[in-house]
Amino acid sequence: MEDITRQNGDYWEAMAAHRRGVTVEYLQSGGEVVSPEELAVIGPVDGRRFLHVAASVGDAALSLALQGARAVAVDIAPSHVETGRAKAAELGIDVEFQVGDMTALRADLTGFDTIYISWGGLCWVPDLRAWVADMATRLTPGGRLVIAEHHPVWEVLSVTGPDQLTLSASYFEQEWIGPRDLAKEPQVVKELGLEWRPHKAFVWNLGDVISAFLEAGLVVVALRESQVPQMYAGFTHAGHLPATYVAAAERPSGH
């Protein structure tokens, strides 16, 4: 495992004991975990084989399994995986949880209709092209790699005062320009004031994502950008800025 990934794994494991995700009752009552926008791109769920990587406590995999998917959830932090397994047991559903590095997945994790990464997962991939190329080989022909993420424009901008936006990182170079924006730290870090630990995340811009799809021989089937004004709280014109995106690409049939 690369040093960066090991360090990032330790960073997440230190937080994992404090992260529970949504409640089992919420999942049982059909509460939304994967949004309609994501589901529109994922396509049919029932009976399909689904892999969620950087899955945290596996809420998306659990939610999709409740909708009929055969789901596997992989995360590098063992405590996240334990929490997910306990939730699956409580729900009485069969979701396979694995501790693993998404940049070095087990060879037998293959033949998926959907591979999905979401909401703060992609930034832990150090080499996007290599990672997408590997995911492409794990899809069935016609299967989709779906990325639902914070928009890279949001990643590099910080609201630093009323109606004041500051560039905190480069859209192109993944270098921090200004101080780290605490608003973008994981919720538990903010809530519990956990001690800072070394870690390294990457900003992948939309050109990087689309280029990686194309170089892997995938066919781009969706790229939807959305505004989420509360993600730029304090900035009046937040509705004019992208906050999230969903991108998807398909392995061509016959490949």
Ligand X SMILES: C[S@@+](CC[C@H](N)C(=O)[O-])C[C@H]1O[C@@H](n2cnc3c(N)ncnc32)[C@H](O)[C@@H]1O
Q: Kindly list the residues in this chain that would bind ligand X in the complex (CB under 6 A).
A: 5, 8, 12, 53-54, 56, 59-60, 74-77, 80, 101-103, 118-121, 124, 186
CB of 100 to ligand X, least distance (A): 6
**Closest chain position to ligand X (CB):** 120
CB of 246 to ligand X, least distance (A): 13
CB of 163 to ligand X, least distance (A): 28
Q: Closer CB to ligand X, residue 80 or residue 138?
A: 80
Q: Closer CB to ligand X, residue 6 or residue 255?
A: 6
For residue 47, CA distances in Å to 17, 43, 67, 112, 238 come to 32, 12, 9, 11, 39
CB of 80 to ligand X, least distance (A): 5
Instruction: Return the sign of the alpha-carbon dihedral for residues 126, 65, 185, 150.
Output: positive
Q: Closer CB to ligand X, residue 101 or residue 250?
A: 101
- The 10 Å CB-count burial string (b at 16+, else e) for 169-201 is beeeebeeeeeebeebebebbeeeeeeeeeeeb
Q: Closer CB to ligand X, residue 101 or residue 113?
A: 101
- As a dihedral over the C-alpha atoms of residue 9, residue 14, residue 16, residue 17, rounded to 10 degrees, the angle is 150
